[in-house]
Every structure is written in C-alpha cells, then in structure tokens.
Amino acid sequence: MAGTGRNGDTKVVTLSDVARLAGVSVATASKALNGRSQVAARTRARVEAAAEQLSFVPNRMAQGLLAGRTGTVGLLTSDLQGRFVIPILMGAEDAFGAGRVSVFLCDAREDTIREQHHLQALLSRRVDGLIVVGSRTDPRSTLGHDIPVPVVYVYAPSDDAGDLSLVPDNVAAGRIAVEHLVACGRRKIAHVSGDPGYAAALDRGVGVGEGLDAAGLKLVGDSMYADWSERWGRDASAVLLDRHPDIDAIVCGSDQIARGALDAVRDRGRVVPDDVAVIGFDNWEPMVEGSRPELTSIDPNLELLGRAAAQRVFAALDGDELGDGVHLQAPRLVIRGSTVPRS
Amino acid sequence: MAGTGRNGDTKVVTLSDVARLAGVSVATASKALNGRSQVAARTRARVEAAAEQLSFVPNRMAQGLLAGRTGTVGLLTSDLQGRFVIPILMGAEDAFGAGRVSVFLCDAREDTIREQHHLQALLSRRVDGLIVVGSRTDPRSTLGHDIPVPVVYVYAPSDDAGDLSLVPDNVAAGRIAVEHLVACGRRKIAHVSGDPGYAAALDRGVGVGEGLDAAGLKLVGDSMYADWSERWGRDASAVLLDRHPDIDAIVCGSDQIARGALDAVRDRGRVVPDDVAVIGFDNWEPMVEGSRPELTSIDPNLELLGRAAAQRVFAALDGDELGDGVHLQAPRLVIRGSTVPRS
DNA sequence: CCGTCAACAGAAAACCTTTTCGGTCTGTTT
DNA sequence: AAACAGACCGAAAAGGTTTTCTGTTGACGG
C-alpha cells in the first residue's frame, strides 16, 4: 500500500522482485503464490508477505503465453445503442465469473471492413472465444470456419448452419403475447408491427397468428408493418381504431410502437387497459416503465442468452463439442398495467 | 484461406511456422514482416507469401511482453444501461483507431468489491490505461494513486483533485437551454428536474438560474426536484401549469421528464410548441425522436468525452503529463420541434 | 590476391511466468 | 554407520516475438 506517486510512474513489479525481496528463487516464489505443495510453510509465508508488500499482480499475458489460454473473450457487435449487447455482456460476465475472464468489446458499426479489423485484432490478442452480437435477428454472414477459436452468434444467427447461433424465440414471443391477451378476456385483437424487412417483425407476427388460431380467433384488420417508430405505432393504431372501433387489444411489434399505440388510444378518449389492452415486445425499461400506464411486454431474456453463449464458449474450451444450428431462447411475459387493470 | 475445419480445431500458427515454410530463421521472418531494412527484397517476399499462406497473425501477448505495452485499455463502468458508456466506448475506439487498441469493458454494477475484482483483472492483463465511467455526475471515490497506468475518470469525476476527470458541463447545459428559450421569445419559464441527490440535477438548475439572470428574467414557480421519471415530469408539470397558466416554456431535467411534461401540456389542451415550449437534457435518441413533437434537447457530447479520455490516456503513454482536476465538456443544443414551430 | 565494406541472415537474449527435473539437506531406517 | 526417503529449493526450459549482435557472403578497390 505504499503508492504515493502519481498514476503511471510506479514501475510494474514482477515475480523476480518478489522473489528477491523474499530471498528465494522465482521458481519457489511462483509455487508459493500458486499454492503448489513443494514449498515449506515458512517460505510460503515470506513470499506472500513480499508479494503483499510490493502489491504484486502476476502478468496474465505471460501466464497466457505458457498456458495457451488468455482468459479473454471477444464480443463483436454492431449494436450501436448497446441495447442488446449490454445485457448479453452482463450475462457473459456472470457465467464467466467477474475477473476470471475479461471481455473485449468491439463495435463494428455495421461495417464489414471494420469488423474484419476488429476480428484480426481479437485473434492477434489470442482470445479464447468469440461472441458475435447482431443488432437484428436476421441472419448475418458467417465469419467463416477458419477461426481457431469457438464462435457463438447471438441475437443475429449466422447464415451458415454449421455455426452455432443463439437467438430469441420471436415466434413464441408473439404466441405468448396473444395467449396473455386471450387469458385477459380479449377477443378483438389487432396487430401493429415494425419494419417488415426485419425477421423479428415477421416472426412475432407468425407467433401472433399461431396464438390466434389456437384460441379460435381471427385478427381484427390486417397486420400493419412499416417501421419501429412511436410515430408509426400511433398512426397505425389510429387507423385501426377508427376502422374497427370494437378492438379490445393491440399487439405491438416493439415497446416503442406500443407507446405510440397508447397515445392513439388515449387520443380517442378510450382507456388502457379497460377498453383496450396494449402489449409490446423487448421489455425495454425506459420505455415500458415511463409509459402511462406501464407497459406489459415480452422480455427476450437477453441475459440468459449472453450467459448461455458464454457457457458454450467455455464448454468448447474444455473440449466439448461446440454444437451448431440455431437455438431458440424462450421469452418471458412481464405483466404491467397496460393489459391488466390495477384491480 | 485454407480453413475447412470446424471452429476451434485449427492449430494456431506461429512465426516459426512461417519461418520454416519460408526457409529462413524466425529473426529474419520477424524483420521481413515488420518492414525492417535488414532483409533482401526476395527474402521478404518469400516470408510474406508464407505468412499469407498460413494466414499468420502475430501474437500480441508475446509482443506486449517485450514491448511493455499491450495495446489494450480497460473501461470500468457502473452504467448498467450502457447509456453513457457506449458512446464513450465509440469515442475511445475512434481516437485509438479501430483494431490498433482493444478495449476491455467491465461492468462493476455499483459494487465496490466487484470493481476491485475487475481492477485487479485489468491490471493483471497489463492494460496500458484505464477509463472509469460513472453512471451519474456526482464525484466517486478515487481508485487511488498506486495504479501503475494512467487513469481518466469520465462522466463521474473522482473525489480526489489529483486525478484527471472529464465531465459534461451541466451548468453550461442549463444556461444554453434557457438562452435558447429566450431566443425563441419565451419569457415565462418553469423548471422541472430530477433527483436532487444527483449533481446533474442541481448543476443544470444552477445553469438555468444563470441563464434567467442574464436575460433579466425570474423563474416561474419554484424549481421542482424529485426523480428522473416520466411520471414525475408529468405530475410536476401539471402542478406548475395549473398554478401558473401563463407559463410559455418548461426546462426539464432530462428527456424522460420532458416527455412527461409534453403529456401534461397536451392533457391541458395546450399545444407544444405554440403555447408552451419544452426542452430536455441528454438528447437520448429513442426518447427525443419518439416524442410528439420531437424534443429539443441538450446533448452532453459523450462521444467527444470518450475521445478526449482516450487521447489523454494515449498522450500519457507517450510521456506527456496526464494532468489533473475536473475538466468540463461543453454541451451542444439540438433543436427539434418542441421549441420551434415547424414554420 | 588480399583487405575492406556493405548487405544480409541467423543466434541469442530479453520479456514474465510456470513446470519439470535434479540437487541439497535433514532425519530416519537397517 | 551407511543408506535411504522425504522435504524442500533452484536451475532451466518453454511459450512467441523483437532486437541486438555476430557471422557469412559477395563485390569491389587497391
């Protein structure tokens, strides 16, 4: 705990410094600090004291050089907003254990060249594994198979079936949304979704259809697709509500669209959830908790996705088969005021 | 370009592999690939071909071991949502240049023990520098001065004046907000802010006061402080509008509060921006762009903050003095529909 | 033909740590 | 007393790269 200097001027202390202070060889110092048995208790104590005094931290680069493992993982993303990548990062940290594994986060910004640069950088740093996070659930091009470490694709699957991809189950999400509305006694259900160029929009739509079929219901009006904005949610809901005044629930393709829908319902002097229930997707906290009333939403369980990805990478390092194909993560319904009256 | 196997099975290729294939020594191979002059053009070409063929990537851990620099930086955050840390990360990546420096991102989750763990891990990985990002602008406890690499505190300053901190200038932000409203012809300005336990709330409030003084105006009603929620923005604005019907502008402590204010104004049958202008802080895209009308806001220029932090770390590595004290980043006004009519 | 010089290639050390193996010492067994 | 076992410590190699220094080769001038 000496440290009185300014940051950066203290010289880095190595194992030989510790060994010298303790009056032993580096070999013995190493064994003492790593709990090896070939060292006397008194010597061990002396070494530990020396290490403490110098606040020695072993150089993991050097360790990695020997071990062939660096204890690092690369997280390669194009998720500008950090909306998906942060929960995934947290899940990965949980799975790895804080401090045991460190994560390189690289933002490719949807740019293939930049992605290649980052990939080279990560490989040159000898990461033990790679997690690739997309910003949408559509398939993305594979990084290829000549990568010397296990790769897991998360959120956006790889377009190569030989790769392992973990993605949210959007079909199930749509189904669950409808099942919840039906359980709440709704029968006249409409659907406003986002950009039809996104697989997420279409998949959720499919799930909505399945849910309705299972309940013997038919969608009120057509599914509306355009973009993910609140404005669109507002406008589309307005059209639907005007054309079909008997609507008693709206399934929205995202929380933002749902907020627009809430506005549209209120503008028409109708009450959420008494007259019309509204449900969103993503369970994005600032959106769902800020709205009036708070928004019921389907949470894609991104932390679990991240954790699963990390576990897969870990297992592959221990020699397990990495696996392949697209694996679906079940979503989770989070009920709030927009579908159920405050009672 | 060979690579036909599954990920993880290809053996990592080293410089000696390249040297062997090219029929030279590792020393020569190294010099050839690094553009050193002591190599004949023909030999260089042969080595480069071999490296290409084996798709050789130098091991930066090994390089770092020699050079004493790893080309990595640690980003230590407690920003659960990634709202501040992502732009800062992007700024840092820009400053460093994609691929040249890689960033470890660690989320301490407001937990001191976890932070210590991460810190140890980062130091053991011999990061060249450390950027510490807080989730609020209040001072945080210093990491201490016995850290062998330069440390820059961003967003949340260190409580130790000997550390270097880069933070948004919230006082200026408040002032700029008022100046803009005054320039738009507003004279009856109210103020709804967030949690008074946050320096950000108070600082912006101070700036609002300065702006009003400079314009010879007085605040309508009292500054309202409670929390950062939309609900509070709605409720507080409602009270203010009912009590002071002549209000023609509301400065809000955050974009979320501003959204609440928009709701309250609309609930009273008044029009934004014609009757009442509303301005927020943070310029958080999903909030400002989803609202009706879109929200004028003060952007804290977080990317610039991140870039500046990265540049400071870099400069310190090159021997420059790191500097100390709290440095303010000027904000930027982003004008949208909530303060200026569509014309 | 010898010496000089330049141009180039390779050997070896260095970075920091871990591990294997051999060596020293103490104490014990026959 | 001699041999032996066991406990402990240290020397050395390994891991991949860069750099310095030494050595080789060939050309050229004297």
pLDDT digits (tens, 9 = 90+) for A280-336: 999 998 899 888 899 999 999 998 998 899 899 888 888 888 899 999 999 999 999
Closest by Cβ to A98, choosing from B114, B150, B230: B114
Whether the CB of B85 is below 8 Å from some CB of chain A: the reply is yes
C-alpha A309/C-alpha B319 separation (Å) is: 41
> Smallest CA–CA separation between B171 and chain A, in Å?
25
In the DSSP assignment, the letter for residue A11 is P
The confidence band for A31, taking pLDDT boundaries of 50, 70 and 90, is: very high
Q: What would the two tokens of residue A266 be? A: 């209120």
- The share of chain A scoring above pLDDT 90, in percent, equals 77
Footprint of strand C, using CB within 7 A?
A 12, 14-16, 26-27, 30-31, 33-34, 36, 38, 56, 58-59, 62-63, 65-67; B 23-28, 37-43, 62, 65-66, 68
Residues in A 87-116 with any Cβ partner in B closer than 8 A: 89-90, 93, 98-100, 102-107, 109, 114
In the DSSP assignment, the letter for residue A157 is P
Closest by Cβ to A58, choosing from B124, B260, B263: B124
pLDDT at A342: 62
Are B146 and A2 in contact (CB < 8 Å)?
yes
Residues of B within 8 A of A194 (CB-CB) are none
Residues of A within 8 A of B123 (CB-CB) are 57
Whether the CB of A11 is below 8 Å from some CB of chain B: the reply is yes
Nearest 5°: the CA angle B192, B261, B174 is 40
Q: Do A170-300 and A70-168+302-330 have the same topology in CATH?
A: yes
Residues in A 142-161 with any Cβ partner in B closer than 8 A: 144-151
Cβ contact B255:B196 at 8 Å: no
pLDDT at A2: 42
Nearest 5°: the CA angle B309, B315, B321 is 100
pLDDT at B3: 42
CA→C1' distance for B65 and D14 (Å): 15
Q: Give me the CATH topology for the region B15-58.
A: 434 Repressor (Amino-terminal Domain) (1.10.260)
Half-sphere exposure of B343 (CA within 13 A, CB side): 4
pLDDT at A11: 76
Cβ contact B227:B221 at 8 Å: no
C-alpha A301/C-alpha B38 separation (Å) is: 57
Element (H, E) at B17: helix B15-22
C-alpha A72/C-alpha A149 separation (Å) is: 11
Whether the CB of B12 is below 8 Å from some CB of chain A: the reply is yes
- The length of chain A in residues reads 343
Burial class (CB in 10 A: 0-12, 13-18, 19+), A235: middle
Listed by start position, the domains of chain B span: 15-58, 71-168+302-330, 170-300
Residues of B within 8 A of A124 (CB-CB) are 57-60
C-alpha A13/C-alpha A50 separation (Å) is: 11
Residues in B 114-133 with any Cβ partner in A closer than 8 A: 114, 117-118, 120-126
pLDDT at B1: 42
Nucleotide of closest approach to B46 (CA, C1'): C9
C-alpha B55/C-alpha A144 separation (Å) is: 13
Return positions of chain C under 7 A from a protein CB.
7-12, 14-22
Closest by Cβ to A60, choosing from B59, B80, B124: B124
What superfamily in CATH does domain A170-300 come from?
Response regulator (3.40.50.2300)
Strand partners, A297: A280, A334
Measure Cα distances from A342 to A186, B98, B167, B287 in Å: 17, 51, 42, 26
pLDDT at A343: 59
Return positions of chain D under 7 A from a protein CB.
7-12, 14-21
> Smallest CA–CA separation between A2 and chain B, in Å?
7
Rounded to 5, what percent of chain A is helix, strand, coil?
Answer: 40, 15, 40
By C-alpha distance, the chain A residue nearest B66 is: A62
Residues of chain B with pLDDT under 50: 1-4
pLDDT at B5: 53
User: Does residue A1 register a pLDDT over 70?
Assistant: no
The confidence band for A171, taking pLDDT boundaries of 50, 70 and 90, is: very high
C-alpha B64/C-alpha B60 separation (Å) is: 6
Whether the CB of A53 is below 8 Å from some CB of chain B: the reply is no
Nucleotide of closest approach to A61 (CA, C1'): C16
- The share of chain A scoring above pLDDT 70, in percent, equals 97
Q: What would the two tokens of residue A18 be? A: 């510790």
Cβ contact A279:A338 at 8 Å: yes
> Smallest CA–CA separation between A216 and chain B, in Å?
35
Q: Give me the CATH topology for the region A70-168+302-330.
A: Rossmann fold (3.40.50)
pLDDT at B6: 64
Are B7 and A60 in contact (CB < 8 Å)?
no
Q: Give me the CATH topology for the region B71-168+302-330.
A: Rossmann fold (3.40.50)
pLDDT at A9: 60
Residues in B 164-193 with any Cβ partner in A closer than 8 A: none
CA→C1' distance for A275 and C5 (Å): 97
